[in-house]
Amino acid sequence: MNNGISITNHRNGETYEFNIINSTRGPNAVDIRDFFKKTGMFTFDPGYTSTASCKSEITFIDGGKGELRYRGIPIEELAGKHTYLEVCYLLLNSKLPSPDELLDFDIELRHRSFLHRGLHKLFDAFPDNAHPMATLSAATTALASFYKEHINLTSSDDFNKMAHRIISKIPTIAAFSYRHSLGIPFIEPNIELSFTENFLFMMRAYPGGKMHIDRQGERSIKEIEIKALDTIFTLHADHEQNASTTVVRNVASTGAHPYVAISSGIAALWGRAHGGANESVISQLEMIGSVNNVEKYIKKAKDPNDPFRLMGFGHRVYKNFDPRAKILKKLQDELKSELNLNTELLEIASKIEDIALNDEYFISRNLYPNIDFYTGIILTALQIPKSMFTPIFVIGRTVGWITQWVEFKREEKSKISRPRQLYIGK
């Protein structure tokens, strides 16, 4: 007795059997790899709402419960309780690091955070007003020409070096992209600083390494700012097979250089339906401008003939609160007293949330705030300009992309991604 699934084609009375592959958590999958061979037909799933593109052990999401786990550990046990670097180590090595492992990992990333001198020149090719995501994607592709060595897929040293290098250089490229957009000199990484503090340092420091000075003296980077940004990096680290990760895996399947795959992921993330939403949320809150205008925009969001969508709302998988949004909302409340959060934007965001969460249109479509809804308000409080919101998403997500790349490459029969189509032409 086949414990799989039978499908009957009522047009020809034929029945086809397919096996079920068991998951360790969440939905099982029907193995349809020989569906076309058996039935002569394709399955049709644009946007892949019901399609598992791969097997993975990295991240688990339960959209109904609003659950997220990295290597089996719930995000609530990681965000704000372990540093982003510990979470990077967990994703890459399937376990949290011992103190010595963390120290070695931290030291290696600090040493690898510098860019080849030749890469500095690339930024000059871009106009000052180039969006940092454009320079970030281009410079990441350029890295492939600086590190051409063939990556020996069986050597973990090779993998670790390739992965650690990109994780440590992305923040530097992002900070240089920002400084280029202001037309101010780059600030080199400071190996005495932690991963997250070093990024804020490269964003804010003056040449010579001094921080901003005002009447109270030097404005050094506050612990609370480092902790908030570190938590944001952790919340963005990985998210199973989202659009940009799917792009990274597709590029991996062609055999292209891993840094080109990461650069493709950066390009995909830029879209406002995906990672670009965090920047669009703030632009939208600024456009709404006052709590008195919220009703008008909620109406536009509900109008099927109006392309306007509430940025930061809705998610393909979460049909409940995005667990990351819950953590960010708590962080926002903590920061309210410590940092000057933009209370006006906060008021508008809270009003949108109050109305949308009680409105039939949003409830019936399971539209809840997602991670992008709150990130922008916190990053604004950290004096980070909105053009840098998606680059910050890139910094957090790079470890996820490279871990997914490695997992794909280590799969014994990793095949090139090549879907078919339903032809409806002449």
Catalytic (active site) residue 315: yes
Calculate ∠ Cα 256-262-266, nearest 5°: 135
Stretch that binds ligand SDX, among 201-209, 212-220, 302-310, 383-391 (CB under 6 A): 302-310
Mapped onto helix, strand or coil, the DSSP state of residue 16 is: strand
Under the binding rule (CB under 6 A), the answer on residue 131 touching ligand SDX is no
Cα 273–Cα 275–Cα 279 angle in degrees, nearest 5: 90
Q: Which of residues 15-54 bind ligand SDX (CB under 6 A)?
A: 47
- Residue of 230, 238, 322, 372 marked catalytic: 372
First to last CA, the chain: 44
309 is a contact residue toward ligand SDX (CB under 6 A): yes
Query: Which of the stretches 70-78, 203-211, 305-313, 402-410 binds ligand SDX when contact is defined by CB under 6 A?
Result: 305-313
Q: Are the CB atoms for 328 and 339 separated by under 8 Å?
A: no
Which of 265, 312, 323, 396 touches ligand SDX (CB under 6 A)? 312
| Overall size of the chain counted in residues | 426
Q: 212-237 burial by CB neighbour count: b if 16+ within 10 A, else e?
A: eeeeeeeeebeeebbbbbbbbbbbbb
What is the torsional sign of CA 381, 382, 387, 390?
A: negative
80 is written with which tokens? 């704000």
Which of 106, 197, 230, 372 forms a contact with ligand SDX (CB under 6 A)? Answer: 372
3-class state of residue 73 by DSSP = strand
386 belongs to the binding site for ligand SDX (CB under 6 A): no
3-state secondary structure of 243: helix
Q: From the CB of 36, what's the least distance to ligand SDX, in Å? A: 26
Interface with ligand SDX includes 301 (CB under 6 A)?
yes
DSSP 317: S
376 in contact with ligand SDX (CB under 6 A): no
Report which DSSP code applies to 146. Answer: H
User: Is 40 or 419 the residue whose CB approaches ligand SDX more closely?
Assistant: 419
Task: Determine the size of the site formed for ligand SDX (CB under 6 A).
Answer: 23
Map the footprint of ligand SDX across residues 346-365, applying CB under 6 A.
Answer: 365
- Chain positions 236 to 295 lying near ligand SDX, rule: CB under 6 A, are 239, 242, 273-275, 277
**Is residue 323 near ligand SDX by the rule CB under 6 A?**
no
Annotated active-site residue in 116, 315, 354, 359: 315
Give the number of other CB atoms < 10 A from CB of residue 140.
25
List the catalytic residues: 315, 372
Residue ranges in contact with ligand SDX by CB under 6 A: 47, 239, 242, 273-275, 277, 301, 304, 309-317, 365, 367, 370-372
